Amino acid sequence: MNMIHPLCISYRYFLLLLIKILLLHTAFPKFASARVPLTACRSYCGNLTIDYPFALRPGCGHAGFRNLLFCVNGILMLHIPSGSYRVLDIDYAYHGLTLHDPTMSDCYTLDRSPNGRGNGFVVEPWRAVFLQPDRDNIFMLLGCRSESPLFQGFPTKHLPCRSIVSGMSCDDYYRCPAWDEAGARSSAYGNSNPPECCAVEPAAVRSLNISHLQCEGYSSAYNVAPLRPPGPGVWTYGLRLSYSLPENNEGFCGSCRSTGGVCGYDQVTHDDVCICGDWNSTSNCDSLGLTAMASTTEISLSLANLAAYGLFMVWWIYQF
Ligand SMILES: *[C@@H]1O[C@H](CO)[C@@H](O)[C@H](O)[C@H]1NC(C)=O
Ligand SMILES: *[C@@H]1O[C@H](CO)[C@@H](O)[C@H](O)[C@H]1NC(C)=O
Ligand SMILES: *[C@@H]1O[C@H](CO)[C@@H](O)[C@H](O)[C@H]1NC(C)=O
């Protein structure tokens, strides 16, 4: 009779349990739900939080905003072909960005030069779908020459200059102290000479290149208050941008986050990537949508581990 001692059975089950635990934790460590700290891609600059779709680290954020923000001595700067701007605010709820251009005119100073003063606003063509001036932003182009592309066909064709943009106008702007010393000013929409100030809607000008438009300078103001701004003295001067993401991004990112990942992008292909700790997925951290070659090697290693543990387990069982 070959009686199996009850203690021996429980010992065997204990071993099986141990092996099972080992298997779960060592053979498939990469495929368990990731718990990437949110700070993996989130950062701070001064008192501004830099979060998705923006990032300071390459590979973090959305590819549409790559090589865009830089933190210089606690000051967040935005670099686009027309120049560098200080970022005053990022409004994640309304997808807005507020910039300051020190070379632009405001209610107290007219900053103009024959060669054009101020950066204006020009983004890379590929970035234009992600970042554009907000509809609530008025651009006031100052002292543009009659040869300017703005006035092509003038005076027979209509000027692109608008009388009112988002409740603001050049006629309001002329009431600013900055114009007191400037003396003569032409009507904002006169028909004999190009106006001293030409207000344009963001949608009308895809790119606001001050020197290309042959203007002497510009001013920009925006209105985020629900009420019409009462006067140019209380307008907010600066550039208000709005940012947008492709429609399918929300689903991708939501699924990535819900599995403990952090949204990023592939630095070579610029495709969306879900960062799952020490591996990256093209979908989310619960699936095997692996990206890099390195990850394929990791699967092979895991399978080798699995086989080794299987053999080990069989060996142990036949020991008794
Ligand atoms: C951030 O700091 C600037 C001054 O550096 C200040 O004007 C602004 O109000 C601060 N913003 C917040 C949200 O604290
Ligand atoms: C995952 O993607 C991030 C962002 O592109 C990158 O920094 C990191 O090296 C990638 N990790 C792996 C394991 O490929
Ligand atoms: C603006 O226009 C000028 C003149 O056409 C051109 O030389 C310059 O490269 C343009 N700047 C940008 C940022 O496109």
Closest residue CA from atom 3 of ligand 2: 59
Ligand nearest to the CA of 61: 2
Condensed to tens digits (0 to 9), the pLDDT of residues 36-67 reads 776 789 999 999 999 999 999 999 999 999 99
pLDDT at 26: 44
Measure 47 CA to ligand 1 centroid, in angstroms: 6
The domain segmentation of the chain, as residue ranges, is 6-33+291-319, 94-243
Condensed to tens digits (0 to 9), the pLDDT of residues 58-109 reads 999 999 999 999 999 999 999 999 999 999 999 999 999 999 999 999 999 9
Distance of CA 149 to the CA centre of its chain: 31
Strands 236-237 and 239-243: unpaired
Ligand nearest to the CA of 115: 3
3-state secondary structure of 127: helix
**Distance, CA of 223 to CA of 131 (rounded, Å):** 18
Closest residue CA from atom 8 of ligand 3: 212
Q: Which parts of the chain have pLDDT scores under 70? A: 1-35, 38, 153-158, 182-193, 205-206, 224-229, 288-320
Q: Is 47 in the pocket of ligand 1 (CB under 6 A)?
A: yes
Could you tell me the sign of the dihedral formed by the alpha carbons of 121, 122, 124, 128, in that order? positive
| Secondary structure letter of residue 25 according to DSSP | I
**Distance, CA of 150 to CA of 173 (rounded, Å):** 20
Ramachandran assignment for 85, one of left (phi > 0), alpha (psi -120 to 50 degrees), beta (any other): beta
Which residues pair with residue 264 across a beta bridge?
60, 273
Measure 294 CA to ligand 2 centroid, in angstroms: 11
Burial letters 178-196, b for 16+ CB under 10 A, else e: bbeeeeeeeebbeeeebbb
> What CA dihedral angle connects 131, 132, 134 and 138, to 10 degrees?
150
pLDDT at 39: 72
Q: Are 258 and 285 in contact (CB under 8 A)?
A: no
Closest residue CA from atom 10 of ligand 1: 47
Establish whether the linkage from the previous residue to 53 is cis, with ω within 30° of 0.
yes
Which residues pair with residue 220 across a beta bridge?
139
**Distance, CA of 217 to CA of 214 (rounded, Å):** 9
